[in-house]
Amino acid sequence: MTASISMFALTVVIPIRNRWGELQACLDAVLQQRESPQYEIVIVDDGSEEPPPEWLRQTISGCGVPIRMKRQAPLGIPAARNRGTSLAEGDLILFLDSDSVPTAFSFASLAECAATYPKDTAFQFRIGSRLETWVGRMDDLFITAVQNAASTKDGHILYADGAGLAIRRSYSVQDGTWFNPSAVRGSDTLLLAELLKQGKLPRFVPTAMVYHDHRQSLFPYLLRHITIGYRSARADTLARVRVTSERKGKTLRRDILRELVIHSRRRRWGYSAFALVLIAGCLKLAGRIGHSVVGVKPGRHKVLNSSVDGLSSAELISRLIQAGERKRSLIATYLNSWSLIRAERDPAFRESVTNFDLCFADGIGVVYALFLTRGIRLKKVTANDFHFVLFQEAANRNLNIAFVGSAEGVAEAVARRTRLAVPDLKVVLCSSGYLSAKDEQNLVHELKRRDVRIVLVGRGQPLQELWVQRIRKVLPDTALLCVGGLFDYLSGRVKPTPVWMRRFGFEWLHRLVHHPLRYGYRYLFGGPLLFWYLVKHQVLRIIGSPSE
């Protein structure tokens, strides 16, 4: 390995969620590596429902290899890999899945390759599967064909699989995260696209072998490809564009098909596995088609004259936690139906919201408006649904948070209730939302002094947005999240909406019935007014008016 002040040559990052049995086989193989460099293991539990088993505790305490076990809120495997990356101390970071079983000399082969090619950033293991089942046979046939077809003459590979992918810790990207937390599947494919963009093609290490330990029966595994195709559609499309560009227009699919035919002929069960691979491919294609029709589109989208981001709750939480942990400025707010109406009538508010780093759709009206005007589908994301996960992860990362908003004493009541649910949460400051100039100055001073990393601001729109934009300049190391009336719900002042009503978009009806004086005007007049703006917007688009 190249000279380094790191204590370890290698950090093995293993994300896990509920699959403790498969993890045992993976750990056994990792701990039996021969002639390997010095390494550590980081296991990141992505919110498993069951606690770690006793055998894992005994392994951690009894083996001679340093093992760290970290737990995070259920934010997804990409977020777990990013968490492991932030904890790694090795020069190289090797990502394994919980069902990955490396062969005995894999780490030694990786170390030798990394030392031989010091200019390479990423290294891809050869992936295979156990051949005892039909699932393993078809998976092995397909991955072998893909890796052979994607290999280049100079020893690199147009392929990346998080089941056996190593990257130098010195590698950096713009936002500091290697794996996109919004990608439920295909985050390693998106990473490949970024590597290709930077001209850092992974080096193929065929002598470093990892086997998939499949424990699923054939029929569910085939049907699962519909979901795989749906969830990985965006990542596959982006990577295909990059790969086609790298190959100067030559398609990779044709080469994969040729390799499938070649390897099918060499194996006794090859043609049967080949047929299963084709069935799985058709099911995956069906999933991709489904995504193109009704899939959630990431990025920032125009809705009327405002903008909203295609965020999931997991991505929003990951971005907030990352900003808080790294002391980076981040401001996030929301749009609901009333916000859209306000933005149409108030250009200053509209501009303020547009300047936020993140703006999520906190209302079914925004989701419908975007779909009707642009044909783009988004998920409704509301603080009522994700606040508990945010608090859990803030506690896991030991981040100081603050509550600012509502009437006197409400933020303190929210803090008391929250600590009962999340005992380790560090709420270090609570403040009313009614602030004089002097109160505001004192508050900012306390936020700095107490090293607050995340501030939840519940002062109502548009006051909270204008306030956040103003204090961002004096709190450059803080993440600020606008939450509207969340504190009133968490404190019990306002009756909370049942989860099923929020899930189906009837939160407005519950609020109208239980709090008619507070929400009557907004919902009785806001709905028809929003409909008018939508009709007006579409008419202007049709006639091509520049005022659109």
CA distance 432 to 467: 14
Out of 45-59, 90-104, 236-250, 342-356, pick the least confident.
236-250
CA distance 389 to 320: 12
> CATH number for the 300-487 domain, one of 3.40.50, 2.60.40, 1.10.3470, 2.40.160?
3.40.50
Q: What fold is seen in the domain 8-214?
A: Spore Coat Polysaccharide Biosynthesis Protein SpsA; Chain A (3.90.550)
Q: At what angle do helices 233-246 and 252-266 cross, to 10 degrees?
A: 100
Q: How confident is the model at residue 231 (pLDDT cuts 50, 70, 90)?
A: confident
Q: Tell me 473's DSSP state.
A: G
Token reading at 190: 């998106």
CA distance 90 to 79: 19
| Equal fold, 8-214 vs 300-487 | no
Q: pLDDT tens digits, residue range 509-545? A: 777 777 676 666 666 677 788 788 888 877 777 776 5
CA distance 143 to 429: 53
Contact 166, 210 (CB under 8 A): no
Cα 203 to chain centroid, rounded: 26
Predicted pLDDT at 101? 92
Residue 315 clears pLDDT 90, i.e. is over it: no
Q: How confident is the model at residue 4 (pLDDT cuts 50, 70, 90)?
A: very low
Token reading at 235: 């990542």
User: Which residue is it, tokens 């109406």?
Assistant: 341
Question: What letter represents residue 316's amino acid?
Answer: L
DSSP labels, 33-102: -SSPPPEEEEEEEE--SSPPPHHHHHHHHHSSS-EEEEEE-S--HHHHHHHHHHH--EEEEEE--TTEEE
Nearest to 239 by CA among 176, 305, 359, 146: 146
Instruction: Tell me the longest C-alpha to C-alpha distance in the chain.
Output: 81
Token reading at 419: 């600590």
234: three-class secondary structure by DSSP: helix
Question: Whole-number mean pLDDT of the chain?
Answer: 85
Q: What is the mean pLDDT of residues 156-180?
A: 86
CA distance 428 to 446: 10
Q: Length of the chain, please?
A: 548
Q: pLDDT tens digits, residue range 87-141? A: 999 999 999 999 899 999 999 999 999 999 999 999 999 999 988 899 999 999 9
The answer to whether the bond into 37 is cis (omega within 30° of 0) is no
Predicted pLDDT at 177? 82
Predicted pLDDT at 249? 46
Q: What is the mean pLDDT of residues 374-390?
A: 85
Predicted pLDDT at 351? 87
Residue 340 clears pLDDT 70, i.e. is over it: yes
Predicted pLDDT at 60? 86
Q: pLDDT tens digits, residue range 19-70? A: 888 899 899 999 999 988 999 999 999 988 888 888 888 888 888 889 999 9
Q: How confident is the model at residue 504 (pLDDT cuts 50, 70, 90)?
A: low
Nearest to 448 by CA among 518, 502, 400, 482: 400
Residues paired with residue 67 on neighbouring β-strands, in sequence order: 41
Q: pLDDT tens digits, residue range 393-442? A: 999 999 999 999 888 888 899 999 998 989 999 999 998 888 888 888 89
Nearest to 12 by CA among 95, 122, 100: 95
> What are the extents of the domains in the chain?
8-214, 300-487
